[in-house]
């Protein structure tokens, strides 16, 4: 069974129509997250589980394309995916209503405390802005109506206000200049009991990477080989990913951009506590998470 997307998402960063030409396979894996909540980390985890070793013949971003991203041409990504013979795992930042849902696909949904997400998103958005060039102003050259690159405040306090009060999409409440982290999770929360949907929390991955990787492995039906397991876990720690970024990023404009700022940032939760947000800023955060179902809100905003 395949349920089509019901809403189109189009921004400087995202184009949901890239999924229109995608042909699913029964064992596909989709990693769907809001930006800066552990997407690349989860892709790396899935890579070592699928291949059962730490090596990647090509960079992770080629092995696991961001299909709704705008910085690589859709047709190039579809050709890459069509040619893959291993179990495919694909990155997406789309909520459920923007993504076709297939009963044969396994979906990994990742959440993170929005107070930490805003700090990482600010670092990422500023880094993208500071290193942007002509290659970014028309990411794929698919048409002349590509949305303009958004302007992001340098000051975290100003950015905090924008992040928690607006989105790149008028029907969403927060996440600027990306899509909404709260709406993304809420859209998937109703599917959490489906056998092909697994929710992961950034804090759980930090607290017990070994245990969470075993949980992902079981969900994907991949047996754990204890003889190689310690090496697989070690390769998914932030220190290992930071040490060899060439394993992650494709050569070209995106790699050139992210090489100029700290893509992985601090790799921890609770980082918002060092930023000294004022009471009014925390009120914006509370207002953003208040509409969430109580169980989801408690799961997402657990104490760090």
β-strands 106-111, 29-33: how paired?
parallel
Q: What is the C-alpha separation between 2 and 235, in angstroms, rounded?
A: 34
- Residue 93 a catalytic site member: yes
Contact assessment for residue 92 and residue 99, using Cβ atoms and an 8 Å cutoff: yes
Q: 204, 28, 183, 217: which is closest to 96 by C-alpha?
A: 183
Q: What is the C-alpha separation between 36 and 23, in angstroms, rounded?
A: 27
Find the catalytic residue in 93, 122, 184, 265.
93
Q: What is the C-alpha separation between 278 and 66, in angstroms, rounded?
A: 35
Q: Which residues have a catalytic role annotated?
A: 93
């Amino acid at each position: 069974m395949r349920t089509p997307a019901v809403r189109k998402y189009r921004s400087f960063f995202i184009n949901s129509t890239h999924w229109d030409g995608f042909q699913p396979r029964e064992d596909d894996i989709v990693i769907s997250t809001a930006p800066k909540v552990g997407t690349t980390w989860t892709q790396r985890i899935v890579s070592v589980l699928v291949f059962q070793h730490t090596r990647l013949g090509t960079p992770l971003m080629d092995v696991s394309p961001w299909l709704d991203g705008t910085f690589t041409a859709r047709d190039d990504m579809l050709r890459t995916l069509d040619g893959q013979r291993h179990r495919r795992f694909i990155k997406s930042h789309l909520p459920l209503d923007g993504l076709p849902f297939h009963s044969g696909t396994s979906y990994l949904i990742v959440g993170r405390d929005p107070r930490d997400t805003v700090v990482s998103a600010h670092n990422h958005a500023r880094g993208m802005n500071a290193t942007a060039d002509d290659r970014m102003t028309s990411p794929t050259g698919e048409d002349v109506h590509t949305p303009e690159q958004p302007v992001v405040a340098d000051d975290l306090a100003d950015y905090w206000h924008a992040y928690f009060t607006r989105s790149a999409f008028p029907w969403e409440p927060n996440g600027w200049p990306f899509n909404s982290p709260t709406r993304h999770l809420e859209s998937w929360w109703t599917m959490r009991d489906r056998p092909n949907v697994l929710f992961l929390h950034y804090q759980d991955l930090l607290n017990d990477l070994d245990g969470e990787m075993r949980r992902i492995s079981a969900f994907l039906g991949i047996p754990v080989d204890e003889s190689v397991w310690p090496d697989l876990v070690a390769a998914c720690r932030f220190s290992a990913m930071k040490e060899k970024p060439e394993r992650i990023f494709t050569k070209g404009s995106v790699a050139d951009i992210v090489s100029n700022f700290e893509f992985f940032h601090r790799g921890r939760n609770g980082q918002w506590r060092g930023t000294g947000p004022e009471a009014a800023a925390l009120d914006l955060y509370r207002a953003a998470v208040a509409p969430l179902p109580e169980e989801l809100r408690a799961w997402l905003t657990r104490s760090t």
